[in-house]
Amino acid sequence: MKKFSIMAGLSLLLLIFLPDTALASGINEFTSPLQKVMETITGTAGRIIAISAFGICGVTYILNRNELSEGFKILLGVVMGICFIAFAANIVDALFSFSGATI
């Protein structure tokens, strides 16, 4: 019991004198890599990848419509949906070309 009270006292002293290292301040470690991934997906490279994948899926579906199995048709639909979602911000900017709320 005496060891426990000593450890608890040392832990309390560490919390008092070193609050920055004792608290959960390491969450910012993940912010930078996730921000880079988001910028890649929504940036110029993401736009090019989304347009090319959307085009390839569309051409594949049009040229091989009768020969494709149902599973592959579903896979093409899913890939086209993901490309559309990744490219949606750019489509909205191009179509409406305004930012913010308008009344």
pLDDT tens readout for residues 74-89: 888 888 888 787 777 7
| Position 20 in a domain | no
Name the stretches of the chain with pLDDT < 50.
22
State the distance between the two ends of the chain, measured CA to CA, in whole angstroms. Answer: 69
The total number of structural domains in the chain stands at: 1
| Position 87 in a domain | yes
pLDDT of the residue at 37 = 77
**For residue 11, how many other CB atoms are within 10 A of its CB?**
11
**For residue 47, how many other CB atoms are within 10 A of its CB?**
16
Domain enclosing residue 79, as ranges: 43-98
Separation between Cα atoms, residue 34 and residue 42, nearest integer Å: 12
